[in-house]
């Protein structure tokens, strides 16, 4: 299985998390998720190629660091157009089954992905993992050449199912709470923070953030404590 992970400009990523994370934290959070995803994929013999589809400088550095491929298109097209062009390139290189995996799924595990690959290699056609909100398409496994139109965006799950029906493509829907958790909002980020088992790099990011918050709280308390303020002026 060839796995392609589309990633946009990380300096502008996840703006809806602004209530929880500053711009640099959002970028580092995205990179932590990607590192965990790559590690999980690399542990699977069924995954032959891992490809980051991105024009982002940090993704270029990450691809070099983790020894995976970076695919950069000549023009900066939208997600659906970019993925369609990328899949055509993969097909020309001999790929016959591909998985599109979005880079905001922090609880991705090798066992769950391995089972997903098994399901698709057995049934073929189209395999979909919906978001926990039941509207988005978090993961898609497909046969190539591509025989339908990609429809990522609002209500993408229903649109992909409709495309499959219109093109007589059999499909499977695989429900998985971990694979279905994508982090787009502060509420989803809080859900992740309260999850017990988190992959290594995300767990490290969250621990550093927790320590920073504690340090800031202590500093704020010192600044507002009248006794400590009076001592500081002595």
- Burial of 150 from C-beta contacts in 10 A (0-12 / 13-18 / 19+): buried
* Residue 221 confidence (pLDDT): 64
* Residue 186 confidence (pLDDT): 94
Distance CA 15, CA 11 (A): 9
Which of 32, 37, 31, 28 is CA-nearest to residue 4?
37
- Please count the helices (runs of H) and the strands (runs of E) in the chain: 8, 7
Distance CA 23, CA 4 (A): 25
**Residue ranges of the chain whose pLDDT lies below 70:** 218-234
Predicted confidence (pLDDT) per residue in 178-195, tens digit = 999 999 999 999 999 999
* Residue 172 confidence (pLDDT): 96
Predicted confidence (pLDDT) per residue in 84-110, tens digit = 999 999 999 999 999 999 999 999 999
Distance CA 29, CA 205 (A): 7
Distance CA 36, CA 105 (A): 10
Structural domains in the chain, CATH included, are: 2-232 (3.90.550.10)
Tokens 């980051």, located at residue:
52
Main-chain dihedrals φ then ψ at residue 6, nearest 5 degrees: -80, 135
Predicted confidence (pLDDT) per residue in 162-176, tens digit = 999 999 999 999 999
Q: Are 207 and 28 contacting, i.e. CB atoms less than 8 angstroms apart?
A: no
């Amino acid at each position: 299985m060839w796995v392609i992970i589309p990633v946009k400009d990380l300096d502008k990523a996840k703006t809806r998390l602004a209530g929880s994370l500053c711009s640099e934290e959002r970028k580092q959070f995205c990179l932590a998720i990607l590192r965990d995803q790559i590690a999980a994929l690399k542990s699977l013999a069924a995954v032959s190629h891992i490809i980051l589809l991105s024009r982002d400088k940090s993704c270029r550095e990450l691809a070099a660091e983790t020894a995976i491929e970076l695919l950069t298109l000549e023009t900066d097209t939208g997600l659906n157009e970019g993925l369609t062009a990328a899949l055509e390139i993969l097909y020309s290189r001999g790929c016959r089954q591909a998985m599109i995996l979005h880079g905001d799924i922090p609880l991705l595990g090798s066992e769950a992905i391995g089972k997903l690959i098994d399901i698709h290699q057995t049934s073929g056609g189209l395999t979909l993992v919906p978001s926990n909100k039941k509207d988005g398409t978090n993961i898609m496994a497909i046969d190539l050449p591509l025989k339908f139109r990609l429809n990522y965006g609002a209500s993408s799950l229903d649109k992909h199912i409709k495309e499959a029906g219109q093109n007589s493509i059999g499909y499977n829907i695989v429900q998985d709470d971990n694979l279905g958790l994508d982090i787009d909002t502060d509420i989803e980020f809080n859900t992740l923070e309260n999850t017990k088992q988190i992959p290594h790099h995300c767990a490290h990011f969250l621990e550093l953030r927790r320590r920073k918050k504690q340090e800031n709280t202590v500093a704020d308390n010192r600044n507002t404590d009248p006794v400590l303020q009076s001592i500081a002026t002595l």
